[in-house]
Chain A
Amino acid sequence: SQQGEEDPQALSIQEGENATMNCSYKTSINNLQWYRQNSGRGLVHLILIRSNEREKHSGRLRVTLDTSKKSSSLLITASRAADTASYFCATDGGTGTASKLTFGTGTRLQVTL
């Protein structure tokens, strides 16, 4: 079953604007990860935030995590046409040596010139 639910399902913005995507989940997690997927391609890891972290930055990306609300957000600043892709959050609730990621349904981001 899908634990994460991204919001919105689709987002269309102009180049230079900021894009914010939200993710909600249901059970306790070890960490939450954000991935990008270009159409028909594999997933590219963007950022991982652990359950004891509240905010993390990587270049133009900013991720927040609120474990009390079981939610996370991904902010892409100064968006570019190349940011057009689907973005997924994935929660890791594994208890063994392997991660067990549960993915959300994704947000389709369209950045226009």
Chain B
Amino acid sequence: SQTIHQWPATLVQPVGSPLSLECTVEGTSNPNLYWYRQAAGRGLQLLFYSVGIGQISSEVPQNLSASRPQDRQFILSSKKLLLSDSGFYLCAWNRLALRGDTQYFGPGTRLTVL
């Protein structure tokens, strides 16, 4: 069966510090991968998605970047965090080339920028 992992689970960082959040998927190959952010009391906003190694699409302009160095690894980064980067970050995957397939979400990382 497929599983998706995210770490760390929680993170408290000062403004201006760098960020690296990691997401890995097990039990499948060539997945589509997604990064979402959820602000407090709100729905999810799609930040980035990837259909393959090194292929990143950005949905909204922001202070963050994403990379996919391996088939089942997706990384969310920032060089300098802003207060507005605080939120709950969720990684998700679904099967490549099956547009409209269910997305499966990881447990999330709660980021607080102080």
Binding site for B on A (CB under 8 A): 2, 4, 30-31, 33, 35, 40-45, 48, 50, 88, 90, 92, 94-106
Q: How far is the CB of B20 from chain A (nearest CB, A)?
A: 19
| Cα of A92 to Cα of B32 in the assembled complex, Å | 14
Our pick among B45, B49, B90, B106 for the contact of A98 (Cβ within 8 Å) is B49
* B104 contact set on A, CB distance < 8 A: 45
Our pick among A42, A97, A99 for the contact of B107 (Cβ within 8 Å) is A42
Is there an interface contact between A99 and B43, defined as CB atoms closer than 8 Å?
Answer: no
Our pick among A4, A40, A50, A103 for the contact of B100 (Cβ within 8 Å) is A50
- Tally of B interface residues using CB under 8 Å: 30
Number of A-B contacts (CB under 8 A): 78
Q: How far is the CB of B92 from chain A (nearest CB, A)?
A: 8
* B36 contact set on A, CB distance < 8 A: 103
Using known A-B contacts A42-B90, A45-B102, A92-B100, determine if residue A101 contacts B46 with beta carbons closer than 8 Å.
Answer: yes
* A88 contact set on B, CB distance < 8 A: 43-44
Is there an interface contact between A30 and B99, defined as CB atoms closer than 8 Å?
Answer: yes
| Cα of A102 to Cα of B36 in the assembled complex, Å | 10
Binding site for A on B (CB under 8 A): 32, 34, 36, 42-46, 49-51, 57, 59, 88, 90, 92, 94, 96-97, 99-108, 110
Is there an interface contact between B97 and A99, defined as CB atoms closer than 8 Å?
Answer: no
Chain A residue nearest in CB terms to B107: A42
Is there an interface contact between A102 and B46, defined as CB atoms closer than 8 Å?
Answer: yes
Instruction: Name 11 interchain pairs, CB-CB below 8 A, sorted by A.
Output: A40-B110, A43-B44, A45-B103, A94-B100, A96-B51, A98-B32, A98-B49, A98-B51, A98-B57, A98-B99, A100-B46
Our pick among B50, B96, B108 for the contact of A41 (Cβ within 8 Å) is B108
